[in-house]
Structures are given as structure tokens and as C-alpha cells.
Amino acid sequence: MAKTVLIVDDDPTQRRLLQAVVEKSGFSTLQAGDGDAALNIALGPDGAGVHVMLLDLVMPGRDGMDTLAELTKNRPDLPVIVLTGKGSIEAVVKAMKSGARDFVVKPASPERIIVSIRNALEVNTLVGEVKRLKKTNTNSLSFDDLIGNAGAMRSVVAMGERGAKANIPILITGESGVGKEVIARAIQGASDRVGAPFITVNCGAIAENLVESILFGHEKGSFTGANAKHLGKFQEAHTGTLFLDEVGELPLEMQVKLLRVLQEGEVDPIGSKRPTPVDVRIISATNRDLAEAVKAGTFREDLYYRLNVFPIAVPPLRDRKEDIPALLDHFMKRFNAQERLSVSGATAETIELLRNYEWKGNVRQLENTIFRAMILSDGDVLKPQDFPQISGLSPNISPSENGSLSALVPSETEVDESVSVLDRDGHLRTLEDIERDLIQFAIENYSGHMSEVARRLGIGRSTLYRKVREHALDVDDVRSA
């Protein structure tokens, strides 16, 4: 899924030369001979497929400056790199002030052109991720921010937008990993509660004896260990939205108390003498069949009907595979920004491989698989061998400094002892101590090559570095040895 560069120059020879340079580096190209043609492409119905523009400043008719002004006004997100002769530096300064991302003096080396294009794409990626993070942090994510436009998801969006207009409980159903929380956030972003608190509670991850305190709060001294007053999640979500993830896992006793809150609009903190009114929009989610749970007696029927006022079923990824290229592009942008990587796309074979996979873990599995592939990849483009668990191909690990893979793979004679799970007295060691020794063992045996260490341990590279910091392990000594 190569990025597209629009080359705008009135000289056909110059356009062909730029085309050869750009396409050799893995990008696709479009061409325009003047400013009007460039604007027709960039601002037309297929303009979203243009990711960077190389724009000559001196052209007959609509010149580069006029073209840039029109683009800045109508499509400020499109990075523009201006092309100029040696004698027009003043024009370059004016173009940069008008919104150009960079400039290239003709004739330019291929390396200079490609570096400029990649820098422009990287900056755009960072800007896009910052905007998305701001929307998430300010609880203003909207349905326009959802990735993909498969037919199966269009009905979900339509239902979500309709449900957002009314203050009724919504139950989002779907398999694990389909993105139920993202839908819930988009519902809030499309409602009149946009920007208000959005509080998430994973009902299946709370210890049973803590559920009441976490949901409804407690007063100081109400039980042993209650050293201070604690606001429950309902009060934290006041005027906003409370997202009850995996609501089917709530204990029956808490289901009764939740039902009362929904009916009365007030909570009873533990130890409080009077109830506290709350104004909360409830959105629930589950991957279970709650109707079957009602029949089995593990979920209250009255609570089920109270939560299931406006159901939205999110389809699994296997039913919307046409969204996979867009999701792939989105996750590549995010991980490029987060991990300072420079993966620009994926081969057609890779996209076909991903589209044909079953994805039992849905979007979450796809996200983790793409992250792992980007860490494994040695090039700018993802290939099938970067997905060994799917393709069955061995990943291409870069050679070590001595030119072979031998430094990455410990020989049998080098590994003469393993990480022990028992101490000298024959008792089990703590999990923390075993984890620390195992990571240290892996770092030493793979000569400090952290990508290989992470791959062998089955964790992400960022997780590995976090654990190295937590255990205060010394990586530099291994690398310099």
C-alpha cells in the first residue's frame, strides 16, 4: 500500500526523472503539467489518495505560489515540497511561509528528494496521531475517526449515530477485540455529552469484594482499610458516560445494585448516610450471549432488559475484511510515530495474506500482529515473511556486525545452564526474580540484540525495554562486550 506522490512540473523530462527517483524508492506517482491540473487531482474525489506533492514554483498559467495558496486553503493536511531553481531563494522563503513543508533546489540528488518526502510523511503521521490522541483524551472521538468503511460497519455507525442522540442505555455486543470501546467513545463524541468524562470499567477484571466500592464509592472508615473517602466510577462519570465493559461478568449481588442505580439515578456509597444523585449515560458491552446467561440464571432478566434498550452488534473482522488495508495503514502510522520506525507500506502479497487470514482475535489481534511485523521488518515495506505466524515463512533478521546470524543464536556449548525456578532450598523463586533472570539470560545469549530478544521472548520491543528498566538490567555492557 505505497504512498502516492503527485509530481507537478511543466517540464515533461523533469517529471519523468522525478517519477523514476520516487518510484524506485517504493512510492507510486501521479503527474500534472500545471497548477490547475494539480488542483483537480488533489482536491478532486480521489484526492485523498495523494499523500505528498512535489510542486514546481515556476510554471505557465497558474504558478506554484497560486497553487500552494489554494491547497493551503482547501487541503492544509497535504504536505507540499516546492521545487525551485538556484536563483529563487526569496520565492522559497515566501513558499515556506505560505505553508510548504520543505523545498528542494533543482537539480537535486535522489537521496535529497526521498529524504524530504519521507520527512513530510513522518511529520504528517505525527500530526495525525496527536490529533487523534487529543480527541481521545478530551472524549471527543467521533464516528468520522473510525477506521474503515466496510458495509458491515456502516450499519453500526448508523445505529451509533442514532443512539447517540437519545440518552438511553446502549448495549454493544461482539466478539473480543472488535473495538466495542471505540464505538462507545464515538457514541459519546456524537452526543451532547461530548467532552464530558468517559469512564471505563472492566467488570470482569475487578475482584468480587471490590466491585461495590469501585462502582459506587465508599466513605472514610466504612470498612477496614478505608482510610479516605473514595468516589466510585458512577460519580467520576457524572455528566458524562460510564462504559461497563464485559458487563456479563458482574456478580449477581452487584447486578441488583446496578439495577437500582439505573432506576433511581443515584448511588449509595458504602458507609454513606444518604444516596448521591448521578447524571450518567450508561453504555455496556459484552462478548457473551446475555439472553443465554439470563436463561442459565447467571444474569438478571430485569437488568438485561434495562441495559438492552438500544442494542448494537459489532461484526467480527472476518466479516469486514475490506477494512483490513485501512486498518493496516492506520496501525503502521501509529507505530511509526510511537516507536520511531519508518515502514512506509506493505506489498500486495502481504495485504492479500492479511485479508485471507481468519483473525479470531479480531482488530486487537491484527494490531498486535502488525506491531510485531514492523519490529521484525528489515525494510521499508512489510513482506509476508515479516508475519511468520501467518505465512509460515521465516523472518529476515538482519545479520550481526560480523556478517552472519551466528551472534544472534547461542550455540549448545554456550548455553550450559538454564534459569532456575527453584532456590537453593528447593522452594519456588518469585515470579519477578525468574522474569528478571530470564530477560538477562536472553539479552546475554543474543548479544544485546533487543529485537531478537523480544521476538524470542514473545513480547513487543517496547515491553522489553520497559521490563529492562523495571529490573534495572544493564544492556550497554552486553552490547560493548
Between 26 and 291, the higher pLDDT residue: 291
Q: Which range, 38-42, 61-65, 472-476, has the best average confidence (pLDDT)? A: 38-42
pLDDT at 414: 38
Give the integer Cα–Cα distance in Å for 66 and 102.
17
pLDDT at 476: 57
What is the torsional sign of CA 362, 368, 369, 371? positive
Give the integer Cα–Cα distance in Å for 126 and 138.
18
pLDDT at 39: 92
**pLDDT band at 324, cuts 50/70/90?**
very high
C-alpha cell at 462: 517496547
Mean pLDDT of the chain: 85
pLDDT at 405: 41
Phi, psi of 307 (to 5 degrees): -80, -30
267 pairs with which residues across the strands? 276
Ranges of beta strands (E only) in 71-112 are 80-84, 102-105
**pLDDT band at 417, cuts 50/70/90?**
very low
Give the contacts of 212 (CB within 8 A, at least 6 positions apart): 254, 257, 270
pLDDT at 279: 94
Give the integer Cα–Cα distance in Å for 415 and 401.
21
Give the integer Cα–Cα distance in Å for 167 and 172.
15
pLDDT at 134: 78
State the average pLDDT over residues 441-462: 82
pLDDT at 277: 94
Q: Identify the CA nearest to 450 among candidates 469, 430, 426.
A: 469
Give the integer Cα–Cα distance in Å for 32 and 9.
7
**pLDDT band at 61, cuts 50/70/90?**
confident
pLDDT at 183: 95
- DSSP 8-state symbol, 270: B
pLDDT at 175: 94
Tell me what percent of the residues of the chain surpass a pLDDT of 90: 42
pLDDT at 397: 57
pLDDT at 77: 85
Residue 133 clears pLDDT 50, i.e. is over it: yes
For the beta carbon of residue 465, count every other beta carbon within 10 angstroms: 13
Contact in structure between 57 and 82 (CB atoms under 8 Å)? yes
Kindly write down the DSSP assignment for every residue of 311-354, as one continuous string. EEEPPPGGG-GGGHHHHHHHHHHHHHHHHT----EE-HHHHHHH
Kindly write down the DSSP assignment for every residue of 410-429, as one continuous string. --TTT------SB-TTSPBP
Structure confidence by residue, pLDDT tens digits, 140-183: 888 888 887 888 899 999 999 999 999 999 999 999 999 999 99
Kindly write down the DSSP assignment for every residue of 230-247, as one continuous string. EE-HHHHTTTSEEEEETG
pLDDT at 76: 87
Give the integer Cα–Cα distance in Å for 217 and 232.
4
Give the integer Cα–Cα distance in Å for 262 and 279.
10
Q: Which range, 227-231, 270-274, 360-364, has the best average confidence (pLDDT)? A: 360-364
pLDDT at 29: 92
Residue 424 clears pLDDT 70, i.e. is over it: no
Q: Which range, 115-124, 298-307, 417-426, 441-450, has the best average confidence (pLDDT)? A: 298-307
pLDDT at 239: 95
C-alpha cell at 450: 533487543
Strands 310-313 and 230-231: unpaired
Listed range (81-90, 100-109, 191-200, 447-456) with the worst mean pLDDT: 81-90
Domains of the chain, start order = 4-134 (3.40.50.2300), 150-315 (3.40.50.300), 319-391 (1.10.8.60), 406-480 (1.10.10)
Give the integer Cα–Cα distance in Å for 88 and 335.
38
Give the contacts of 99 (CB within 8 A, at least 6 positions apart): 68, 71, 72, 76, 80
Strands 4-8 and 28-32: parallel
State the average pLDDT over residues 179-205: 93
State the average pLDDT over residues 439-443: 85
pLDDT at 87: 55
C-alpha cell at 388: 511468520
**pLDDT band at 475, cuts 50/70/90?**
low
Listed range (15-19, 31-35, 204-208, 305-309) with the worst mean pLDDT: 204-208
pTM: predicted TM-score of the whole model, two decimal places? 0.66
- DSSP 8-state symbol, 209: G
Residue 402 clears pLDDT 50, i.e. is over it: no
State the average pLDDT over residues 378-393: 86
State the average pLDDT over residues 282-290: 95
State the average pLDDT over residues 424-431: 72
Tell me what percent of the residues of the chain surpass a pLDDT of 70: 90
Between 353 and 417, the higher pLDDT residue: 353
Structure confidence by residue, pLDDT tens digits, 201-257: 999 888 888 889 999 998 888 887 788 888 999 999 999 999 999 999 999 999 999
Structure confidence by residue, pLDDT tens digits, 332-357: 888 887 787 878 788 999 999 999 99
Cell numbers 522452594: residue:
427
3-state SS assignment for residue 281? strand
Contact in structure between 389 and 398 (CB atoms under 8 Å)? no
Residue 408 clears pLDDT 70, i.e. is over it: no
pLDDT at 341: 82
